[in-house]
Chains A and B, each alone.
Chain A
Amino acid sequence: MSYISVDHLCKTFTVRKKREKGSFFREKETVHALKDVSFEIEKGELVGYIGPNGAGKSTTVKILSGILVPESGNVTVGGLTPWTDRKAHVRRVGVVFGQRTQLWWDVPLLDSYSLLKDIYRVPEDAYRKRLDELTEALQLGDLLRTPLRLLSLGQRMRAELCGSLLHSPELLFLDEPTIGLDAVSKLALRDFLQWENREKGTTILLTTHDMEDIAALCSRVMVLGHGEKLYDGGLQEMLLKYDTKRTVQVEEHRNIDHVIADMYRDLGL
């Protein structure tokens, strides 16, 4: 069996809308965030997960990491079901949300990390070793005594990444990790992710809108739209399949974002 196996996963949300004039009850709408999604990921893979806003990417990540409970479907990660064996599951998982901080805002990074060590029950020597390794790879050495709130976005992202990897997870979820980063920080982050994947064998699932991230990191891509999986396979094959206009308008400069936009249009998203 594969390391991650997702089988017929469904998740719905009920959205209560503002009451309309003249009607007594508020209208309720059921949103199908995920409709029967299935896929498998092997250990050590680095998979890109793309799709337009609201496609259900974050919902998938939240179910896989044990935050949300789905309506139906089976999920196992390394033999455990995330939402029933939450504590045992999250011990092996690291998650980075690009838009949200998980460290303590007003205290130096080192204090945050040391508290994380206690939360995850990491032995002292393993923690020292891992922290040294990560601070070097992420170039955090000078920042360890600075409070999080004084860091720039790029620095903060690296700090977050270090925090999520201190307990040496075997699986890492990244939800738009390069959002808002400058070119230098982006490149550094990509290098690091490649290093972590290659050296430690960490399985990585990367959610992003930045196609450069995908092109640089992932050999396999999954495309999600309206809660359904629309494509699963190699990046090159996907680009060839959907880049229909390239042959017609050779002179026009088209980057990868154009191709993706065309693809979303073709898929009716």
Chain B
Amino acid sequence: MNTLRLYGRSMAILIKSQLQYPLSFLMQTVAQLVMEGGEMLALILLIDRFDRLNQWEAGDLYFFFGLMSVSFYLTEIFGRGVTGNFPYMVRTGQLDTVLLRPRGVLTQVLCSAADPRRITCIAVGTVSLVIGSNLSQIDWTLPKILLFAESIFFSFWLILGLFMIEAILCIHSVKSVELANTLTYGGRSACEYPSDIYPRPLRILFTVIAPFALVMHVPASAILGKPLYGWPMWTAFVTPLSGLALFGIMYLLFRKAMRFYRSTGS
């Protein structure tokens, strides 16, 4: 409880800091809107041209896109410490300060940054979800609502876990942003669409290694009533747990890596 309170207070301070530069904040928020709006425009054009992708109709595609947008940018808002700041903290030695305080390293890293500008991206994602839900005429029963919430919750941990790969590598002073980006930003772009439209190697990548399919596509397809890979409904409640599992593995590796942290400066 205490940790959550600390997190809340840290976020309050960070937002206060960002609002010290209101115009900059406003402009960047608008820039985010244009960026994510552009992504959605690409989808709209695609749907306008093709109507459907395999068995997925327009509404389904909007739904998948919206789920990814909301999940990914939630992670970027609240996990900014890991997704953006960590390599910088290692390079400049700011991580020293974190190690000097009697709290978990990851907790403090998450407390150290937030990116509220992404709120507009989430707005775009939400619009896409609403359009998708209407077009596909989803009947929102309680299990479906729970499934939806579960999917977003575990997607957060999955994406955070994937971003931690970069964090782990950079402690070992390896600059390998591209490798890590393949899974994070690459995964985001690819998995805006259901994974079964891809050839087998990519399907395996996004099911077994970076399980976007298990955390997002299986529950989303169950909500849409067109189960992915033909799996039964109940599996949709189980597979998202893989997101937390991936995060757990990364967390352990991260703790091991911290022993090799070598600080810089002064």
Is B93 on the interface with A (CB-CB < 8 A)?
yes
Residues of B within 8 A of A147 (CB): 20
What's the minimum C-beta distance from B57 to chain A, rounded to whole angstroms?
48
A102 adjacent to B97 (CB under 8 Å): yes
Known: A100-B93, A176-B266. A107 touches B13 (CB 8 A): yes
Q: Which residues of B contact A244 (CB under 8 A)?
A: none
Query: Are the CB atoms of A118 and B6 closer together than 8 Å?
Result: yes
User: B100, A107: Cβ atoms under 8 Å?
Assistant: no
Contact with A along B92-107 (1 / 0, CB 8 A): 0110110111111000
Q: Is A195 an interface residue (CB 8 A)?
A: no
B17 touches A119 (CB 8 A): no
What 0/1 pattern do residues 63 to 74 of A give for CB contact below 8 A with B? Answer: 001111100000
Chain B residues within an 8 Å CB radius of A39: none
B16–A120 touching, CB < 8 Å: no
Q: Mark A96-119, 1 if CB is under 8 A from B, else 0.
A: 011110101111000110110011
Known: A104-B13, A107-B13. A13 touches B102 (CB 8 A): no
A76 close to B (CB within 8 Å):
no
- Give Cα distance in the complex from A113 to B62, angstroms: 46
Chain B: interface residue total (CB-CB under 8 A): 26
Interface locus among A44-52, A84-92, A231-239:
A84-92
Q: Choose among A58, A67, A102, A115 the residue that contacts B10 (Cβ–Cβ < 8 A).
A: A115
A260 to chain B minimum Cβ distance, whole angstroms, is 20
**Judging by beta carbons under 8 Å apart, are B266 and A175 in contact?**
yes
Verify if B263 is at the interface (C-beta below 8 Å from A). Answer: yes
| A contact residues around B108 at 8 Å (CB) | 119
- State which size class the interface on A falls in: 35 or more
With A67-B99, A87-B102 known to touch, is A62 a contact of B16 (CB < 8 Å)? no
Using an 8 Å CB-CB cutoff, how does the interface string of B8-46 with A read, 1 for contact, 0 for none? 011001001100100000000000000000000000000
Check if B230 is an interface residue, CB within 8 A of chain A.
no
Q: A67-B96, A99-B266, A102-B97 are in contact. Are A119 and B13 (CB under 8 A)?
A: no
Interface assignment of B262: CB less than 8 Å from any CB of chain A: yes
Known interface pairs A87-B102, A115-B10; A105-B17 also in contact (CB < 8 Å): yes
CB < 8 Å neighbour of A87 from B16, B103, B266: B103
**Cβ of A205 < 8 Å from any Cβ of B?**
no
Which of these, A13, A62, A112, A121, contacts B2 with CB under 8 Å? A121
A120 and B101 contacting across the interface, CB-CB below 8 Å: yes
A95 interface contact, C-beta 8 A: yes
Per the 8 Å Cβ criterion, residues 252-266 of B in contact with A are 259, 261-263, 265-266
Interface residues of B in 207-266 (CB under 8 A from A): 259, 261-263, 265-266
B5, B20, B100, B265: the one contacting A65 at CB < 8 Å is B100
Chain A residue nearest in CB terms to B94: A100
Are A90 and B102 in contact (CB-based, < 8 A)?
yes
Asked if A62 contacts B96 (CB within 8 A), the reply is yes
Residues facing A in B37-60 (CB within 8 A) are none
Q: Give the residues in chain A near B96, CB-CB below 8 Å.
A: 62, 67, 97, 100
Also in contact, A115 and B101, with CB within 8 A (given A13-B262, A99-B265, A106-B20): no
Residues of A within 8 A of B17 (CB): 104-107
Bound-complex Cα distance A126 to B13 (A):
23
Q: Is the CB of B99 within 8 A of A86?
A: yes
Q: Does A221 contact B (CB under 8 A)?
A: no
Q: Closest residue to A69 on the B side, CB-wise?
A: B259
A90 to chain B, nearest CB (A): 5
**Contact of B93 with A120 in the complex, beta carbons under 8 Å:** no
Interface residues of A (CB under 8 A from B): 13, 58, 62, 65-69, 86-88, 90-91, 93, 95, 97-100, 102, 104-107, 111-112, 114-115, 118-121, 147, 175-176
List of 7 A-B pairs having minimum Cβ-Cβ separation, nearest first: A106-B17, A91-B102, A87-B102, A102-B97, A67-B99, A106-B20, A99-B266
User: Could you list 18 A-B pairs, sorted by A, with CB under 8 Å?
Assistant: A13-B262, A67-B96, A67-B100, A67-B263, A68-B262, A90-B99, A91-B102, A98-B266, A100-B94, A100-B97, A102-B100, A106-B16, A107-B13, A107-B17, A112-B13, A115-B13, A119-B101, A119-B103
